[in-house]
């Protein structure tokens, strides 16, 4: 992952580069750096850790120069130290890099054998050396980059500048996103349109294998065969405003609270209230011909896929396979004609999911994408874009994107069911009514925030926490455990409640909190039996259910959280709220960095 910004400016660029990095910090925050070209020399500031450290360094030692590149890092090769922080300088070349150079070891060995010395453990420095070597052979900067690019394997985006040519910025893209921004006698390079939003809205997205030669006066893009190509300049529509937390203490808290609004916003574009129907955007294929579905995603989005499997199989009677994207391609899945491939992603850039999408397309599948960032690579490559309208999600732990993805998944399941002739108009009307209830039910769930905060210290003291759920609430148990792990660093696991007795029950004693997600309904009694098996062994149960469920099974628990009574279909959307709030309050109580938890990044553009 990592974020890249480059500016060929008319005035000083350091502050603007830092501002661009702030917009890219979601991509990683292990270290950051900026290098400018000034009076024919490179001038560089780097700092380990979050961007505030680089900002302090710049305040203490301002950086002059009207052209420069900048980087925020998510470490792949080498610890997050100053030496490993980008930009990397070798001779006349300075370089920033996002992604992984997979063949860096043989390249490094080759360069070491020639007597070259490395100052970092990164794969990136190898590229700077290779370009420098070409310059040494007498090649001009453009030719030097063109000679080196074919030697690099992996998925990456690069930004390169040269001491001798301060009016030149070269960007290259293979497998990681990169955009060129067009200004007034200025031009830019950035990992995404958001990074460049305060500078320009006029953006060209580089395509796979493209590289761009940028000066203040002109931009020329070349494809992987070095043929000049034109990439359309579009209006990015990205907001130049930096997101703020409003009255909230953290972005995550703000985003949890936004859910009734953004889920309503998302549902609005998929529901036709007058017809009492669900509707998808126009598509060029017949949903009725879909015989199988493959859903691929990573992390939180993959749990939406698992819930989607329950919904699609139940409503549309179409077989669904769900994979985490990192496994999908390499297990050589059986992809058959009339199969619909679905990717789910907040960022639309996750490398594993993007690779899976391309794999599905290459196999001839029609593809759909449930995606939050409409300008992302996936959004541009799917046959059918099913947007979520969550708005920018800044907190690294996904919350509102998750519930908006669920809302779209429900709409897709209903459409598929109708197209397959498995859903009567009455049944569809019922579901539309239930979906319309979701925003209000989420608001009711949010009203329990105080109780959840009050129980956080008990959970924060635990070493392990287990989450149980059945049916569509089983993936929600997985999501609950993931949320807790991500931001509070407490070990947590989610299990299908019936599976607990096949192993995890061995972990249970009176120090283990067990969070049980059990809306009353057809699966309730079975889940409660599993819960009681754990209680008999001393488990500290927190029961999340509705009033009926709590009346039946709330005894001998350490706490109950009462959800509004909702149809089992929409329960995962509503029960997501207490699950998120619990993780949030435990993390706040423990004093961890809620919005930027250690080792994580919001957009993971490496495999
Ligand atoms: C990262 C984030 C997760 C997220 C996953 C998938 O690992 O830390 O919160 O669920 O990527 O991201 P995507 O943008 O594809 O939804």
Please give, one letter per residue, the 3-state secondary structure of 240-278.
CCCCCCCCCCCHHHHHHHCHHHHHHHHHHCCEECCCCEE
Q: Confidence band (pLDDT; 50, 70, 90) for 28?
A: confident
pLDDT of residue 286: 92
Cβ burial 199-214 (10 Å sphere, 16+ → b, else e): bbbbbbbbeebbbbbb
Mean pLDDT of the region 586-603: 86
- Ligand 1, atom 1, lies closest to the CA of 602
Q: Is 446's pLDDT higher than 90?
A: yes
Residue ranges lining ligand 1, Cβ < 6 Å = 298-301, 345-347, 350, 353, 396-398, 600, 602-604
| 254 vs 257: CA distance, rounded Å | 5
Q: Which residues pair with 376 in a beta bridge?
A: none
Q: Which residues pair with 466 in a beta bridge?
A: 493, 514
Count of residues for the chain?
607
- Ligand 1, atom 15, lies closest to the CA of 345
Residues 334 and 431 sit within 8 Å (Cβ to Cβ): no
Structural domains of the chain in order of their starting residue, each with its CATH number: 3-235 (3.60.20.10), 246-436 (3.40.50.10490), 446-593 (3.40.50.10490)
Which has more confidence, 273 or 223? 223
Per-chain mean pLDDT for the chain? 93
Query: Rounded to whole angstroms, what are the CA distances from 430 to 32, 310, 384?
Result: 52, 18, 26
Pocket test for ligand 1, best of 602, 605, 606, 607 (most atoms within 8 A of CB): 602
pLDDT of residue 598: 82
Under DSSP, the state recorded for 350 is -
- The answer to whether residue 2 is catalytic is yes
Catalytic one among 2, 35, 298, 404?
2
Ligand 1 center to 584 CA (angstroms): 17
Element (H, E) at 235: strand 234-235
pLDDT of residue 448: 96
- The answer to whether residue 602 is catalytic is yes
pLDDT of residue 154: 87
- Ligand 1, atom 5, lies closest to the CA of 299
Listed range (248-252, 363-367, 542-546) with the worst mean pLDDT: 248-252
What is the share, in percent, of the chain residues with pLDDT greater than 70?
98
The closest-lying atom of ligand 1 relative to the alpha carbon of residue 486 is 8
């Amino acid at each position: 992952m990592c974020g890249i910004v480059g500016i060929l400016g008319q005035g000083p660029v350091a502050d603007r580069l830092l501002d661009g990095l702030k917009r890219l910090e979601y991509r990683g925050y292990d270290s950051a750096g900026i290098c400018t070209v000034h009076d024919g020399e490179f001038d560089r500031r780097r700092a380990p850790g979050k961007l505030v450290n680089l900002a302090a360094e710049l305040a203490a030692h301002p950086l002059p120069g009207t052209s420069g590149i900048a980087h925020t890092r998510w470490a792949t090769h080498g610890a997050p130290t100053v030496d490993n922080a980008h930009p990397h300088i070798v001779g006349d070349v300075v370089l920033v890099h996002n992604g992984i150079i997979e063949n860096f070891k043989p390249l490094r060995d080759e360069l070491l054998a020639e007597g070259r010395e490395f100052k970092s453990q990164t794969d990136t420095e190898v590229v700077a050396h290779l370009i420098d070597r070409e310059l040494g052979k007498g090649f001009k900067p453009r030719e030097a980059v063109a000679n080196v690019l074919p030697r690099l394997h992996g998925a990456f985006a690069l930004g390169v500048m040269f001491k001798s040519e301060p009016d030149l910025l070269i960007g290259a893209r293979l497998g990681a996103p990169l955009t060129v921004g067009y200004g007034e006698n200025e031009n830019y390079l950035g990992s995404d349109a958001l990074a460049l939003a305060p500078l320009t809205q006029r953006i060209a997205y580089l395509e796979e294998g493209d590289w761009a030669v940028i000066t203040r006066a002109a931009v020329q893009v070349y494809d992987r065969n070095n043929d000049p190509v034109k990439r359309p300049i579009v209006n990015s529509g990205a907001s130049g405003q930096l997101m703020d937390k409003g009255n909230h203490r953290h972005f995550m808290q703000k985003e949890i609270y936004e859910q009734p609004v953004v889920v309503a916003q998302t549902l609005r574009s998929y529901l036709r209230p007058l017809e009492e129907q669900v509707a998808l955007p126009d598509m060029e294929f017949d949903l009725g011909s879909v015989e199988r579905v493959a859903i691929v995603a990573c992390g939180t989005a993959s749990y939406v896929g698992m819930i989607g499997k329950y919904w699609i199989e139940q409503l549309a009677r179409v077989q669904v396979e769900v994979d985490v994207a990192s496994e999908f391609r390499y297990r050589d899945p059986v992809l058959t004609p009339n199969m619909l491939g679905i990717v789910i992603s907040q960022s639309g850039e996750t490398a594993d999911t993007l690779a899976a999408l391309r794999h599905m397309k290459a196999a001839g599948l029609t593809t759909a994408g449930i995606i939050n960032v409409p300008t992302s690579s996936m959004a541009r490559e799917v046959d059918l874009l099913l947007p979520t309208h969550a708005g920018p999600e800044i907190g690294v732990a996904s919350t509102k994107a998750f519930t908006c993805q669920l809302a779209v998944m429900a709409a897709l399941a209903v459409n598929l069911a109708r197209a397959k002739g498995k859903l009567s108009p009455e049944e569809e009307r019922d579901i539309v009514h239930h979906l319309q209830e979701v925003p209000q039910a989420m608001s009711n769930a949010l009203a329990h925030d105080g109780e959840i905060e009050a129980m956080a210290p008990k959970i924060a003291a635990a070493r392990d926490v287990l989450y149980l759920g059945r049916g569509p609430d089983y993936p929600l148990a997985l999501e609950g455990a993931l949320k807790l792990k991500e931001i509070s660093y407490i070990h947590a696991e989610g299990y299908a409640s019936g599976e607990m007795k096949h192993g995890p029950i061995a972990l249970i004693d009176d120090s283990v909190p067990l969070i049980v997600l059990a809306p009353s309904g057809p699966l309730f009694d079975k889940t409660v039996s599993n819960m009681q098996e754990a209680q008999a062994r001393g488990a500290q149960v927190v029961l999340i259910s509705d009033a009926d469920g709590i009346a039946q099974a709330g005894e001998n628990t350490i706490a109950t959280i009462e959800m509004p009574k909702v149809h089992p279909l929409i329960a995962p959307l509503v029960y997501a709220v207490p699950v998120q709030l619990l993780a949030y309050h435990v993390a706040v109580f423990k004093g961890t960095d809620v919005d930027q938890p250690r080792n994580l990044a919001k957009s993971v553009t490496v495999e």
